[in-house]
Amino acid sequence: MSLPPFLSSIDEQKDQMIHDVLSWSNINSGSLNLLGLERMAYTLRKAFEITGASGEVLPSDPMTVITDTGAEQQIKVGPILRIVKRPEANRQILLCGHMDTVFDTSSDFQTWEDLGGGKIRGPGVTDMKGGLRVILAALQAFEQSPHKDQLGWEVLINADEEIGSFGSRRHLVEAAGRANLGLVYEPSMPDGTLAGARKGSGNFTLVVTGKAAHAGREHHLGRNAITALSSMILDLNSLTGGRPDLTVNIGKIEGGGALNVVPDLAICRFNVRMKEPSDQDWLQDAMDSIVAKMNNKADYTAILHGSFSRPPKPMSPMITQLFDLVRMCGSDLGIEIKQQPTGGCCDGNNLAAAGLPNIDTLGVRGANIHSNQEFIITDSLTERAKLTALILHKLSSGNIPFPKKAPAS
């Protein structure tokens, strides 16, 4: 089949795309580096002006964390960039990405390096500054499509995806309500395979308090928070496998001090993963009863903080249909698109939970993300930008059935 001629403009941009990704990689935008994120937001806003749409930089909501004394604390997270074109069009697409990386200012991974063979190693090049550049090139090309007026788009780029998107959650849900379909730019597998069904995830912090006492004189009067927490950890750990593929990962424990004091505070942080939405209720009940058992003991208190931040994303009929479209666009471009389920999760989970069917691995090909060996396969920049531009072109042509907007929540 013949490809729309505007797609070839993307190939001409390859050097510029690589140049931009590397200059963005040079800006440290670790999830907690507010200054770097601010700089990244305004740099991206400027870059996206070429699409003819003007962006706005919006504040995120504060995020609640549990400190090492077990207290709740609100912290500020980085800003959100929102760019909107043709909001009046009947068909609306949300293109979603994140500007934060897992590499903060203290990381030893701050600069890029050309590995040769079309691979460049660098912080965030694949996850997902390359993906952001794919969005830009695709939109720039799509704006030359003869059907462009049939389709409005919104780009939402948050700054706290790597720490759970708590500060941008409200914006994601609102944007999901404005759109018919979502495209998210997490990297694909190195061979281009996309993520299909995704597990859900939750992060929890369990704070146990007992009673301090002198370990020598009055050991019997103390209530040891560490041993109490330890018994709870074994109970929590045993929930793994309680439902198919459900896991509880005890990630971090804190507590105690001087060895001659019965410790009165212990904290455990853990992550849970589940496949089915109904697993969340099962797990919540199980965790609640473990907590209640401790609270029934005299002189002990247990408080469970946290939530299921990313619900499971099963393959729905609409997502399957969207995959068929992506596969069809891929085959027009001579790329075979496969998909497989994953235990990882991303903002695609949140958008799906808010009722927005989406495909969430339309970003670049690369590997070793979240490590200092992260690299991008540079050919994938133009390849994936053409894929998205063609998806948008087909969606705007009116030949593809469009789902209704997600119900407002």
**Where along the sequence are the contacts to Zn ion (CB under 5 A)?**
127-128, 186
Q: How far is the CB of 363 from Zn ion (least distance, A)?
A: 8
Q: Which is nearer to Zn ion, 31 or 247 (CB)?
A: 31
Q: Which is nearer to Zn ion, 127 or 374 (CB)?
A: 127
In DSSP terms, 339 is beta-bridged to 194
Q: Which is nearer to Zn ion, 31 or 180 (CB)?
A: 31
Q: Which is nearer to Zn ion, 214 or 370 (CB)?
A: 370
Q: Which is nearer to Zn ion, 369 or 390 (CB)?
A: 369
Q: Which is nearer to Zn ion, 176 or 184 (CB)?
A: 184
What's at 32, amino acid-wise? L
Q: How far is the CB of 20 from Zn ion (least distance, A)?
A: 18
Q: How far is the CB of 356 from Zn ion (least distance, A)?
A: 18
Q: Which residue is nearest to Zn ion (CB)?
A: 127
Q: How far is the CB of 140 from Zn ion (least distance, A)?
A: 22
Q: How far is the CB of 100 from Zn ion (least distance, A)?
A: 8
Q: Which is nearer to Zn ion, 128 or 268 (CB)?
A: 128
Q: How far is the CB of 378 from Zn ion (least distance, A)?
A: 18
Q: How far is the CB of 9 from Zn ion (least distance, A)?
A: 27
